[in-house]
A = this chain, B = another copy of it.
Amino acid sequence: MIEKLIARIQETKAPIVVGLDPMLGYIPEQVVKAAFAEFGETLEGAAEAVWQYNKAIVDAVYDLIPAVKPQIAMYEQFGIPGLAAFKRTVDYCHEKGLVVIGDVKRGDIGSTSAAYATAHLGKVQVGANLLTPFGEDFATVNPYLGSDGVKPFIEVCRVEKKGLFILVKTSNPSSGEFQDRQIDGRPLYELVGEKVAEWAESCMGAQYSYIGAVVGATYPEMGKVLRKVMPKSFILVPGYGAQGGKAADLVHYFNEDGLGAIVNSSRGIIAAYKQEKYAKFGPEHFAEASRAAVEDMIADINTALQAR
């Protein structure tokens, strides 16, 4: 799957990923109204609004981008119907040829991590059948529990040719509370990064490993260090745009070959129509606003990459 991700980045010339994190408050009124008219003000109604919103955005941008990253929490908050909308979104993005990064931040131990890996990246044996529970291509994983927590995910990736992005340094203001603490003169996130590099080495595709990392756009100096610590890993970079990360800061997350990083934007793309810059589209043309925002983001990042 890392090969498909790389191929699609090269085809689209867009090292970006669109975060499908649909809050109800982002969804234009006409979409919400239509969903409520059909399913009522219920979890099913909310899930339908989410699905219609996602579908319109995916239809508008899929040819420009290599990958999407649905954030499962935004679906889980609408219970079972919400998770059904998550699954429908994953399947639809696959139909459109997109790589799907499940932003699930799961992590447990032993057989429990194996169950999460099966849920999101694998197949589950039921009697004589092998069935696909959710079927994303990559998943994000929390490393706090150590190797026992991560290895069952790696095993499933090996079998299914899928991949991981392991949290190393997150984009939020308080990420330093534990992640930046000094251990033998180096911050915890660097030790986690070294562990990721070790796992990555044993899980190589042609040029890159299928074990990647998450490093927030909001900490570019740390990104520079971590790029060197994990030379074979793709870095998934959240925090561009709405959270404050700038393209010029992101060039250090890439290797010299122009690969090695994929920058996420969620709100900045899917709710673009709410920004002054794209207000001319209006809520009725929200998907076109998202397309314009994707084009601008690609140009912004490529300009920065060319300038380095």
Contacts and interface: CB of A to CB of B under 8 A. Distances in A.
A262 to B, nearest CB: 19
Nearest to A173: B148
A7 interface: no
Interface of A: 21, 23-24, 36, 41-43, 45-46, 71, 73-74, 76-80, 82-84, 87, 105-113, 115-116, 118-120, 124-129, 131-134, 142-149, 167, 170-179, 181-184, 188, 191-192, 195
Contact of A110 (B46, B172, B179): B172
A260 to B, nearest CB: 23
Contacts of A133: 43, 76-79, 82
Chain copies in the assembly? 2
A115 B145 contact: no
Contact of A147 (B71, B106, B174): B174
12 contacts: A24-B125, A41-B127, A73-B106, A76-B115, A76-B133, A78-B126, A105-B107, A144-B144, A145-B167, A145-B172, A146-B172, A178-B192
Contacts of A142: 105, 107, 142, 144
A80 B76 contact: no
B24 A126 contact: yes
B127 A45 contact: yes
A172 B192 contact: no
In this complex, which of A80, A109, A144, A184 has the most chain B Cβ atoms within 10 angstroms of its Cβ? A144
Contact of A21 (B71, B80, B112): B112
Given A43-B131, A174-B147, A76 B116 contact: yes
B146 A41 contact: no
Given A176-B146, A177-B147, A178-B192, A23 B79 contact: no
Given A119-B76, A119-B79, A41 B148 contact: no
Contact of A42 (B105, B118, B129): B129
Contacts of A127: 36, 41, 45
A120 B73 CA distance: 10
Given A24-B126, A78-B124, 8 more contacts: A41-B126, A43-B126, A73-B108, A74-B115, A76-B134, A142-B144, A146-B175, A146-B179
A116 to B, nearest CB: 5
A267 to B, nearest CB: 9
